[in-house]
Amino acid sequence: MSFLDKVTKAVGDVVDKGKKDVDQFMKIQKINGEIGGIETKIAGFKAQIAQAKAEAGSKAIELLRAGTIASPELQAFLEQITGSERQIAEEEANIAAKKADIEKIKAEHEAEHVAAAATETPAVPPVAASPTPAAPVASARSCSACGASLAGAAAFCPQCGARQG
């Protein structure tokens, strides 16, 4: 067997081994894909079971509240649910009170702005003794929301935070 024949045989063996490895990999990947599909089905079935249990529990609680059924085991769940519902109502009332506090703070702040704007007196420019050419004055801008003076090209009012634009 010549050197060239040995090299050709060695390369052929490597290619055959590579094909076998690729075939094995493809078969394994196919089976893993099938397993993934089955696991997805199982997860769907488990979700259906969980939903059915939740609906059954809701129905049982409704029947307990209506007095249609009496079960000491389920009564403990009903008491737990009722307690949680009560706590939710209390927390929602706390949220409503805090939102009312926010509105009160905003109203007080707005009232202060209105009062401050009403008491401000415009500055009277001094009378010049001799007519001299006036220096260029930068145009004064004011906030469109609260009327506060704006410096330069401010994008937001420093007083109320309103966007200027």
End-to-end CA distance of the chain: 89
Residue whose tokens read 């939710």:
88
Asked if 138 and 151 count as a contact pair (C-beta separation under 8 A), the reply is no
Task: Give the DSSP per-residue string, the chain.
Answer: --HHHHHHHHHHHHHHHHHHHHHHHHHHHHHHHHHHHHHHHHHHHHHHHHHHHHHHHHHHHHHHHHTS---HHHHHHHHHHHHHHHHHHHHHHHHHHHHHHHHHHHHHHHHHHHHHHHH--PPPPPPPSS--PPPP-PPPEE-TTT--EE-TT-SB-TTT-PBP-
Query: How would residue 122 be classed by pLDDT, with cut points 50, 70 and 90?
Result: low
Bridge partners, residue 142, by sequence: 149
Express each pLDDT in 41-56 by its tens digit: 999 999 999 999 999 9
> What pLDDT does 10 receive?
85
Cβ neighbours for 139, distance < 8 A, ≥ 6 positions apart: none
Average pLDDT over residues 28-52: 96
Q: Could you tell me what percent of the chain has a pLDDT over 90?
A: 49
Asked if 26 and 18 count as a contact pair (C-beta separation under 8 A), the reply is no
Q: Residues of 114-131 as b/e, b for ≥16 C-beta within 10 angstroms?
A: eeeeeeeeeeeeeeeeee
> What pLDDT does 130 receive?
57
> What pLDDT does 137 receive?
47
Query: How would residue 129 be classed by pLDDT, with cut points 50, 70 and 90?
Result: low
